[in-house]
Chains A and B, each alone.
Chain A
Amino acid sequence: MSNGQPTRRISQVSRRTSMSSGSGQGMGQMPGYGASPAAAHRWRKLSRTMSLALSMGRRFSYLGRPSVAGMHSDHMRMPKMEVKLENTYQLKPDEDKKYSPHAVRTVMQNILDSTLDGVRYDPTSSAIVAQNLTDVIKTRIKEFNYHRYKIIVTVYIGSQKGQSLQMSSRAIWDTENDNFSTATYTNESLFCVALAHGVYFE
Chain B
Amino acid sequence: MAMRRVLSLILSVLSTVTLLWTQSGECNNGRRSGDAGDTDLSGFSVPLEHSFEVDDVPRFRLRGALQLKGGKENGVYLSQNQLSEKDRITLKDVAAADGLYRVRVPRVSLQVDRQTERPSEGYLTTFVRACALVESHLSDVITLHTDVSGYIIGISIVTIPGSCRGIEVEDEVDLEVFNTTISVVAPVTAPAPETAPFIERMEQEMEKKGKNPQEQKSFFAKYWMYIVPLVLFLMMSGAQDQSGGGAGGGAANGGGR
A joins B in a complex: no
